[in-house]
Amino acid sequence: MDSKNEPEESLDTTSAGADSTTTAVPMEDTNPSSSTESRQTSLTEPGLLPGETVVKEGKAAILFPSANEVFYNPVQEFNRDLTCAVITEFAREQLAQRGVRILVPGEKDRVVVQLSEEKNGTVDQEASEQPENEPQKEEEGDEKDYITASVGERCEQGLRVLEGLAASGLRSVRFALEVPGLKNITANDYSAKAAALIARNAQHNNVSHILQASQRDASMVMYEARGRKERYDVIDLDPYGSPSPFLDAAVQAVSEGGLLCITCTDMAVMAGNSGETCYSKYGSVSIKSKYCHEMALRIILHSLDQRAAVYQRYIEPLLSVSVDFYIRVFVRVKTGQSVVKNSASKQALLYNCVGCGAFHLQRMGKKMSQGKHMKYSAATGPPVGPNCEHCGQRHQLGGPVWAEPIHDNYICSEGSGCRFREPHPF
Task: Point out which residues bind ligand SAM (CB under 6 A).
Answer: 76, 80, 165-168, 170-171, 188-191, 194, 217-218, 238-240
How many Å from the N-terminal Cα to the C-terminal Cα in the chain?
32
Residue closer to ligand SAM, measured from CB, 238 or 294: 238
Q: Buried b / exposed e across 190-211, counting CB within 10 Å, b at 16+?
A: beeebbebbbbbbebbebeebb
From ligand SAM, Zn ion, none, interface partner of 388 (C-beta below 5 to 8 A by class): Zn ion
Contact set for Zn ion, span 366-395 (CB under 5 A): 388, 390-391, 393
Q: Which residue in 113, 149, 157 sits closest to 133, CA to CA?
A: 149
In this structure, how many other beta carbons lie within 10 angstroms of the beta carbon of residue 51?
12
Smaller CB separation from ligand SAM, 174 or 298:
174
- Each residue 335-354 as x (binds Zn ion by CB under 5 A) or -, in order, gives ------------------x-
From its phi and psi, is residue 236 left (phi > 0), alpha (psi between -120 and 50) or beta?
A: beta
Which does residue 170 bind out of ligand SAM, Zn ion, none, counting CB within 5 to 8 angstroms by kind? ligand SAM
290: phi > 0 → left, psi -120 to 50 → alpha, else beta; which?
alpha
Q: Which is nearer to ligand SAM, 118 or 217 (CB)?
A: 217
Nearest approach in angstroms of CB 355 to ligand SAM is: 39
What single-letter DSSP state applies at residue 108?
B
Alpha-carbon distance of 49 to 63, in angstroms, equals: 9
Interaction partner, residue 76 (Zn ion, ligand SAM, none; CB < 5-8 Å by kind):
ligand SAM
Among Zn ion, ligand SAM, none, partner that 355 touches (CB below 5 to 8 angstroms by kind): Zn ion
* Residue 166 touches which member of ligand SAM, Zn ion, none, C-beta under 5-8 Å by kind: ligand SAM
Q: Does 283 bind Zn ion (CB under 5 A)?
A: no
Q: Nearest 10 degrees: CA dihedral of 154, 212, 91, 314?
A: -150
Query: Of 67, 127, 356, 379, which one interacts with Zn ion (CB under 5 A)?
Result: 356
Q: Which parts of 50-163 fold into alpha helices (H)?
A: 77-96, 115-119
Tell me the residue nearest to ligand SAM as measured from the CB: 165
